Amino acid sequence: MERTLISQVSQNINKEILIKGRVINLRKMGGISFALIQDYSGVIQTVWEKEKEIKMGDAVEVKGSARQDERAKGGYEIVGSEIKVLAASIEEYPFDLSKNILNLQLTTLLDNRTLSLRHPSVQAIFKLYNILLQGYERVMRQEGFSEIKTPKLLGAASEGGANFFKVQYYDKSAYLAQSPQLYKQIMVGALERVFEIGSVFRAEPSFTTRHLSEYISLDAEMGFIAGWHDVTAMLTKILREVFGLLAREGAEYLKLHNAEISQVPEEIPHLKLAEMKKIIAKKYKYNVSEDTDIDPEGERLASQYAKEEFNSDFIFLTHYPWAHRPFYTMPDPENSQDTYGFDLIFKGVELVTGSQRIHLYKQLVDNMKKKGVKPAGLEFYLEVFKFAMPPHGGWAIGSERLIQQVLGLKNVKEAVLFPRDVKRLSP
Amino acid sequence: MERTLISQVSQNINKEILIKGRVINLRKMGGISFALIQDYSGVIQTVWEKEKEIKMGDAVEVKGSARQDERAKGGYEIVGSEIKVLAASIEEYPFDLSKNILNLQLTTLLDNRTLSLRHPSVQAIFKLYNILLQGYERVMRQEGFSEIKTPKLLGAASEGGANFFKVQYYDKSAYLAQSPQLYKQIMVGALERVFEIGSVFRAEPSFTTRHLSEYISLDAEMGFIAGWHDVTAMLTKILREVFGLLAREGAEYLKLHNAEISQVPEEIPHLKLAEMKKIIAKKYKYNVSEDTDIDPEGERLASQYAKEEFNSDFIFLTHYPWAHRPFYTMPDPENSQDTYGFDLIFKGVELVTGSQRIHLYKQLVDNMKKKGVKPAGLEFYLEVFKFAMPPHGGWAIGSERLIQQVLGLKNVKEAVLFPRDVKRLSP
């Protein structure tokens, strides 16, 4: 007998069908036993007059007759006639899959990651993540961006900064890419509009709820822009469509987390960072330290302001200071202390970093000198600016952080299948 | 004036428009100069009555009037009125972008990679690659697979074998993933059908035309299969759709390489590897060495046989020997020397490796013992098999090799934006 997917049961009423899946709940009531079965397409209740030799978590094959039943979840159930255990659990689960496990300690969930991933609420996170990737892939192409894959093994710790992982590369040393920045810029010279979904690596020896040693960055870079506004406008368009898709296709997963998708405004409000800091100081009596561009509390308050003033979960902070932005960021010609660099703050946290980049060779070399960035290891990148790079800019979105903020997860690690940090390198 | 994309010129006949792009050809004829301009949407000829101060490779903005002209490439051209150089080339290109550069030495192309990528024929490779990714992403979802991202930093060189890259990970050692194998299997226990498009790393100190130190693997894994046939059947379905998309959407890029897309048969012919070797020995007088499963010459002849016998560019070789397949491969119960592992050979080269996997804990542990694989570092993986893993299997496709074979490129490095090998770690 051919397998019927659980999502197709409603189209097979009163027929004898075969389903396959995992037992995710078992209960008895008045001599009748019920087993909830899950496959990749959905969940259905099976009903048994006699008790069967099955356990929670077993992988099974069920033959039975499909019928409508308003009391069953989804409105359908299967009256079972035969059950076959394809693989049995030989140990007890460390938690009850039929209960809410999201209120367990994060370390419990992560130490037992291979099993906590079998819980519907945890699965919902990654079903939503799948929709995020689908949305980004689809919408970027609609806007003429080509998907690229750039190397993660680099010959030099090229963007500066200390938080690189070092790799033993044959008889040399290599470094893991902290971002596809230099390569995506080079690709603007070739394909003009490019995007990448790829692993990035950050040796961040910090224990915060928002840092990871390895994550997936949603990158983009576009050429022939008139200015940084073209970049924020394109990003807004992309986010509107992606968030729309998350709302439409992810409804059931959002519901499991009592989450609602934020409306992305047609025009996201934006303010210069310096102005925002003044507002925060005046309105919320909080002074961001002079040593930094903005700190987590500042981001939180900027978001609060955006909500109060514009009823928006998003706000662009623009014109980040030259001292805090990398060498490739276009300086503001009207104020050399500032740049055309921006962040997008979403629900209190930085979600996207972007900027217009320097595209003229001489300006780039000058800016590097001023910043004290040595050209060693960057020759391949610098070289391309001798060959007419068009005005360009782009962004990087932290994909896991986006899901974290959408679902209101306490820790970004919950949005990663197998997270990596200072202590965690397995599973 | 708003920018008009080159692909939209045909809809703006006799209007004054503004285009932006790169000059990829310049010539003069009878006092008139022609400049071919490329943007991400296409290429168009611009015509100038007076000579202009522009050079090959410049990034420009052109105002002019659009008109039909049968002599122009694409049937349209722009009679230029104004040209503005947004960024000028300040050095000479190492090759002529208007000529065929694909017959240059590969080292010349790769040493100057940031510029060779600006040639339309080279761009065509990556436009096609973009369609491959698009196709895989779309078709896998149609079949109910969720896209996942698994870690590339591993705590142990877990699949065995020596060709791992070692990473300094805080105060520990980590290893770069050679494949998402163990993680995608674990995910079958959670989401049943998963796929991943991700970087894999192989410390292969060999100089062949088909090896890379870093590449992009198109992985998949599916649960509740009835046997390995379910895996090869799904793979066939996926490839039929992906190759169909490449043919439809990639026509102009294929043409630049005089390439035609192979027809993927509804059922790809398959033969046991041992039988294939006998046929090769008898028909082509070639004996594959006893020490290996199959060698490159054997693969080439297997393909020749598939073409002669079945008129197919594809052939599955099945039942690979137990000695040459990893510990997680399901042994053939009818012949313990063989496994349910297969390769898909495409135009003479292994394109896909796949198998049914062992799904029962005891069998897995026994098989590891027989193979001498130590469980150290694999505990997280083994553990999950105590909790009812359904019968499952999957595959890994070398994405760059697929494009190489489709386009008939001599070296797989041509299908990688910035290839990595023993000697090449930059750009």
Instruction: Give yes or no for a contact between B187 and A117, defined as CB atoms under 8 angstroms apart.
Output: yes
* pTM score: 0.96
| Per-residue confidence (pLDDT) for residue A160, from 0 to 100 | 61
pLDDT in tens, B300-354: 999 999 999 999 999 999 999 999 999 999 999 999 999 999 999 999 999 999 9
Strands A341-346 and A314-318: antiparallel
Chain B touched by A207 (CB under 8 Å): no
* Residue B387 with chain A: CB contacts under 8 Å: 57, 89-91, 93, 114-115, 118
CA-to-CA distance for A75 and A297, rounded, in angstroms?
47
| Per-residue confidence (pLDDT) for residue B19, from 0 to 100 | 97
| Per-residue confidence (pLDDT) for residue A73, from 0 to 100 | 78
CA-to-CA distance for B251 and B338, rounded, in angstroms?
41
Q: Which of A54, A97, A114, A137 to mutate to test the interface with B (most CBs of B within 10 A)?
A: A114
Check pLDDT > 70 for residue B368: yes
CATH number, span B120-415: 3.30.930.10
Check pLDDT > 70 for residue B230: yes
pLDDT-based confidence at residue B4 (cuts at 50, 70, 90): very high
Q: Quick one: closest CA in A to B385, which residue?
A: A89
* Residue A18 with chain B: CB contacts under 8 Å: none
* Residue B187 with chain A: CB contacts under 8 Å: 117, 417
Instruction: Give yes or no for a contact between B37 and B19, defined as CB atoms under 8 angstroms apart.
Output: yes
Whether residues B387 and A89 touch (CB distance < 8 A) is answered with yes
Q: How far is B333 from chain A (nearest CA, A)?
A: 17
Strand partners, A76: A68
| Per-residue confidence (pLDDT) for residue B30, from 0 to 100 | 82
Whether residues A147 and B130 touch (CB distance < 8 A) is answered with yes
| Per-residue confidence (pLDDT) for residue A41, from 0 to 100 | 95
Q: Which of B55, B358, B426 to mutate to test the interface with A (most CBs of A within 10 A)?
A: B426
* Residue A22 with chain B: CB contacts under 8 Å: 388, 390
Closest of B187, B234, B224 to residue B390, by C-alpha = B224
pLDDT in tens, B234-291: 999 999 999 999 999 999 999 999 999 999 999 999 999 999 999 999 999 999 988 8
| Per-residue confidence (pLDDT) for residue B161, from 0 to 100 | 64
Give the other-Cβ count within 10 Å of A328's Cβ. Answer: 22
Q: How far is A302 from chain B (nearest CA, A)?
A: 32
Whether residues B189 and A114 touch (CB distance < 8 A) is answered with yes
Chunked into runs of 10 residues, chain A (427 residues) has average pLDDT values of 94 95 91 93 92 88 93 88 94 89 89 94 97 98 98 82 88 94 97 98 83 95 97 98 97 95 96 96 92 92 97 97 96 95 97 98 97 91 96 98 96 95 87
Instruction: Give yes or no for a contact between B38 and B30, defined as CB atoms under 8 angstroms apart.
Output: no
Chain B touched by A387 (CB under 8 Å): yes
What CATH fold (topology level) applies to the domain A6-87? OB fold (Dihydrolipoamide Acetyltransferase, E2P) (2.40.50)
* Residue A189 with chain B: CB contacts under 8 Å: 114, 117-118
Strand partners, A28: A33
Q: Which of B38, B56, B114 to mutate to test the interface with A (most CBs of A within 10 A)?
A: B114
Q: Which of B114, B133, B197 is the closest to A380 by Cβ?
A: B114
* Residue A133 with chain B: CB contacts under 8 Å: 137, 147
CA-to-CA distance for B37 and B3, rounded, in angstroms?
14
Instruction: Give yes or no for a contact between A279 and A286, defined as CB atoms under 8 angstroms apart.
Output: no
Q: Quote the mean pLDDT of chain B.
A: 94
* Residue ranges covered by each domain of chain B: 6-87, 120-415
Q: Quick one: closest CA in B to A87, which residue?
A: B388
Task: Please list, in sequence order, all residues whose beta carbon lies within 8 angstroms of the beta carbon of residue B232, skipping any fewer than 6 positions away.
Answer: B268, B270, B316, B318, B342, B344, B354
Q: Which of A193, A388, A422 is the closest to B58 by Cβ?
A: A388
Task: Please list, in sequence order, all residues whose beta carbon lies within 8 angstroms of the beta carbon of residue B288, skipping any fewer than 6 positions away.
Answer: B277, B280, B281, B294, B295, B297, B298
Return the SS3 of B321. strand
| Per-residue confidence (pLDDT) for residue A250, from 0 to 100 | 97
Q: How many CB pairs under 8 A join A and B?
A: 275
Q: How far is A357 from chain B (nearest CA, A)?
A: 13
- Chain B residues 126-155 within an 8 A CB cutoff of chain A: 126-127, 129-130, 133-134, 137, 141, 144, 146-155
Q: Residue B247 phi/psi, 5° resolution? A: -65, -45
Chain B touched by A364 (CB under 8 Å): no
Q: How far is B199 from chain A (nearest CA, A)?
A: 8
- Find tokens 């073209």 and name the residue: A230
Q: Which of B39, B144, B165 is the closest to A192 by Cβ?
A: B39
Amino acid (1-letter code) at residue B128: L
Mean pLDDT, range B170-178, rounded to an integer: 94
Chain B touched by A201 (CB under 8 Å): yes
Task: Please list, in sequence order, all residues whose beta carbon lies within 8 angstroms of the beta carbon of residue A193, skipping any fewer than 6 positions away.
Answer: A143, A144, A145, A146, A220, A221, A222, A223, B40
DSSP string over B204-248: -----SS--SEEEEEEEEEES-SSHHHHHHHHHHHHHHHHHHHHH
